[in-house]
């Protein structure tokens, strides 16, 4: 299993969620975050305001998923989150050694 | 060392914290999150309101711990967080390669 | 690639960010968190208030970086975040298997 973490633009969150639901994701965890990415001298625009300073509001999404679905999950997020403008986001994948569903105690693949 | 991440129901946070303290955990990091889990047609209840839409308030707890304690830490969290109702939570474990205590510069096991 | 997660004192965040920028970090993600660390009977002070209870406001910083820079990134954070007082923070490192830049689809080292 793997943990896919995606940091995306807030206004893209609904589209990303819908794309993940359509793909068949069974769970995800969302937190509000602030992001700093390389802007190469450009400014990033959020709700009409220009952020040339470093911190811009972002949504951080975590998805624990099976190995065989990781590539697709990353592709689904990237496709749904992209606008072509700077600051579109970053997605990274980390190995997961075990998972438990709290209600039932089910483990690993059965817990997803 | 491992990183145990638990996403639990907010009203179970106090119980989980107390159980972890009793177990002897020396540190943890807590963030507010929103969660989306499979509901199989059921709705999840939070503070008297039904959430049939996907996002429900959750507490995200991170605990970096020694390898030999991981199983117990996960068990402690699962036991304290369970209510038997849907949405009880998910716990996952990720490998940690190094840890530092900022105040002293102590490393790895000594930093926990 | 690695994911460096640092949980630091809020009033040290500016210094940590500046030190990371000076080092040449190209991106990071920041979330507000609450922390619980071992206090050995001491209390932790935040904005003039004593927190002898367990939860103290913290800033959680995530930096995905190349293997060869991990040691330096951790050192930069530790040096900038330290005050010598309890509660200064904890830094941990987790392996990252892949990274994507959403705007361009670039992967791994090229995505950082
Ligand atoms: N190395 C990194 N580590 C952790 N988080 C990162 C990193 N790089 C970017 N992020 C997070 O992802 C968000 C989006 O990054 P962003 O899309 O600006 O990446 P970028 O590499 O600067 O690409 P672009 O040139 O398209 O702006 C950032 O605001 C930050 O929250
Ligand atoms: N695959 C996942 N990846 C990341 N976070 C998840 C995942 N599944 C669940 N979560 C998080 O854990 C929270 C609780 O999940 P939940 O207990 O609803 O899991 P479930 O598998 O739907 O089990 P149940 O059938 O008991 O509801 C979710 O709201 C979400 O924040
Ligand atoms: N084992 C841990 N797992 C996850 N987060 C931790 C852990 N230990 C500490 N933290 C986080 O780091 C923050 C700072 O920890 P802290 O500096 O108090 O560590 P400590 O080991 O108690 O060191 P000190 O003796 O200097 O206080 C905590 O408030 C918490 O958010
Ligand atoms: Mg950028
Ligand atoms: Mg559920
Ligand atoms: Mg402490």
CA-CA-CA-CA torsion sign (A20, A21, A25, A26): positive
Span A82-88, mean pLDDT? 93
Which amino acid residue places its CA nearest to atom 16 of ligand 1? A87
Evaluate: CB of C1 within 6 angstroms of ligand 1: no
pLDDT value at position B37?
Answer: 72
Span C81-109, mean pLDDT? 96
- Contact (CB, 8 A) for B25 and B73: yes
What is the rounded distance in angstroms from the CA atom of residue C94 to the CA atom of residue C92? Answer: 7
What is the rounded distance in angstroms from the CA atom of residue B80 to the CA atom of residue B103? Answer: 31
pLDDT value at position A55?
Answer: 79
Q: In Å, how far is B112's CA from the nearest CA of chain C?
A: 9
pLDDT in tens, A3-29: 999 999 999 998 999 899 899 998 999
Count A/B contacts: CB-CB distance under 8 Å: 80
Span A49-72, mean pLDDT? 85
Mean pLDDT of chain C: 89
- Tell me the range of A38-42, B19-23, C49-53 where mean pLDDT is highest: B19-23
Non-local (6+) Cβ contacts of A98 within 8 A are: A1, A107, A108, B74, B92, B93
CA of C94 to the centre of ligand 6 (A): 22
What is the rounded distance in angstroms from the CA atom of residue C14 to the CA atom of residue C24? Answer: 15
Question: Quick one: tokens of C33?
Answer: 């968190």
What is the rounded distance in angstroms from the CA atom of residue B90 to the CA atom of residue B74? Answer: 10
Interface test with A, best of C10, C15, C29, C62 (most A CBs within 10 A): C29
Packing angle between helix A13-23 and helix A70-81, nearest 10 degrees?
Answer: 150
Its domain, for residue C58, covers: 2-111
What is the rounded distance in angstroms from the CA atom of residue A8 to the CA atom of residue A19? Answer: 14
pLDDT value at position A45?
Answer: 61
C-chain CB neighbours of A62 within 8 Å are none
What CATH number is associated with residue B93? 3.30.70.120
- Return the number of other C-beta atoms located less than 10 Å from residue A109's C-beta: 10
What is the rounded distance in angstroms from the CA atom of residue C63 to the CA atom of residue B25? Answer: 25
pLDDT classification of C102: cutoffs 50, 70, 90: very high
Closest C-alpha among B13, B92, B105, C45 to residue A27: B92
- Contact (CB, 8 A) for C59 and C88: no
What is the rounded distance in angstroms from the CA atom of residue C94 to the CA atom of residue B3? Answer: 9
Evaluate: CB of A103 within 6 angstroms of ligand 2: yes
The answer to whether C101 contacts A82, with C-beta atoms less than 8 Å apart, is no
| Rounded to 5°, angle at Cα A75 from A107 and C26 | 100
What is the rounded distance in angstroms from the CA atom of residue C70 to the CA atom of residue C90? Answer: 15
pLDDT classification of C33: cutoffs 50, 70, 90: very high
Tell me how many domains chain B contains: 1
For chain B, list the contacting chains (3+ Cβ pairs, <8 Å): A, C
Q: Of the given ranges (B38-42, B98-102, C3-7, C51-55), which has the lowest mean pLDDT? A: B38-42
Helices in chain B by DSSP H: which ranges?
A: 13-23, 70-81
Tell me which of B6, B8, B37 to substitute to probe ligand 2's pocket, judged by most ligand atoms within 8 Å of the beta carbon. Answer: B37
Q: What SS3 string covers C54-75? A: CCEEEEEEEEEECHHHHHHHHH
Non-local (6+) Cβ contacts of A7 within 8 A are: A33, A35, A58, A59, A60, A61, A89, A90, A91, C29
Span B29-33, mean pLDDT? 96
Q: Of the given ranges (A53-57, B74-78, C13-17), which has the lowest mean pLDDT? A: A53-57
pLDDT value at position A56?
Answer: 86
pLDDT value at position B41?
Answer: 45
Interface test with B, best of C91, C95, C97 (most B CBs within 10 A): C91
C-chain CB neighbours of B97 within 8 Å are 2, 93-95
pLDDT value at position B29?
Answer: 96
């Amino acid at each position: 299993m793997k943990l896919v973490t995606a940091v995306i633009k807030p206004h893209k969150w609904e589209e990303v969620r819908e794309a993940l639901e359509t793909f068949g994701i069974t769970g995800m965890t969302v937190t509000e975050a602030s992001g700093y990415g390389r802007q190469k001298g450009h400014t990033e625009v959020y709700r009409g305001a220009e952020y040339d300073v470093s911190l811009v509001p972002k949504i951080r999404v975590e998805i624990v998923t099976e190995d065989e679905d990781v590539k697709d999950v990353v592709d689904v997020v990237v496709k749904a989150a992209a606008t072509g403008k700077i600051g579109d986001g970053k997605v990274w994948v980390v190995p997961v050694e075990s998972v438990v569903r709290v209600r039932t105690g089910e483990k690993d693949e059965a817990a997803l």
